[in-house]
Amino acid sequence: MYKKILTILMITGLSATAFAADEPVTLESLSSEIANVQANADWLWTLIAAFMVFFMQLGFAMVEAGFTRAKNAVNIIMKNLMDFSIGSLSFWAVGFAIMFGTTTTGFFGTEGFFISNWDPNDNWTLCFWLFQTVFCATAATIVSGAVAERTNFKAYLIFSAIMTAVIYPVYGSWAWGSLFHGHGWLEDIGFIDFAGSTVVHSIGGWAALAGAIVLGPRIGKYTKDGKPRAIPGHNIPLATIGVFILWFGWYGFNVGS
């Protein structure tokens, strides 16, 4: 119903504009204008959804900072900040081409590094890149909470670059490559991942598990006889606010997909 109403409003508005300018309204010109409005609406909605997913970075930072000890709050916040800073650059330079570039094997893309194949007249490419960038950064951020309070900051930055340039894009190419110029062997055999339950959350989760296994528990988490000790977070209200921010961003994450 809302699409019909929107179409009527667009036709009415476009007709009024043409009438005011004393220009004849033809079916071809009207169809062209409607298509142009629809394209801009598509770009706008995709960007709004991308901004909502980007806002989730703040939610992750607040949740993780709230559930860690005060002495490590700055460290965890900086990790979340650098996840997106380094991740967006790595994904722009390498990851996007691996994930969505043309491929003959179905394993990863081999063209379009630094978005070198971008047509300046094709705004959708940049819009699509931004939407996929925030998803990529989300996958990397999942790991920061799992290794909180026990990883070297510089080492984490190296991991973040590798995660966003290679690990996430390769699997993303398998499942989502055909959304742009590529195709993946998983989707070729019928695999479907609508909003990233595997591409984003599973890849991020497995990377987080690997990091936690390698690093081990936080110092003081267990007694000498193996009994766990509670290490409470320093700011539960901050973590709660982060949860609501993530909740809000989820509507862009799932609905935007």
Q: What is the pLDDT of residue 31?
A: 85
Whether 102 and 110 have beta carbons less than 8 Å apart is answered as: yes
Dump pLDDT digits (tens) for 66-99.
999 999 999 999 999 999 999 999 999 999 999 9
Dump pLDDT digits (tens) for 181-199.
999 999 999 999 988 889 9
Q: Of residues 5 and 124, which shows the higher confidence score?
A: 124
- Residues 60 and 244: their CA atoms lie apart, in Å, by 10
pLDDT tops 50 at residue 19? no
Q: What is the pLDDT of residue 30?
A: 84
List Cα–Cα distances, 54 to 63, 135, 140, in angstroms.
15, 8, 13
* Conformation bin of residue 196: beta by default, left when phi > 0, alpha when psi is -120 to 50: left
Over pLDDT 70: what percentage of the chain? 91
Q: Domain-by-domain residue ranges, the chain?
A: 46-256
pLDDT tops 60 at residue 21? no
Domain 46-256 has CATH 1.10.3430.10: yes
pLDDT tops 50 at residue 131? yes
Q: What is the pLDDT of residue 171?
A: 95
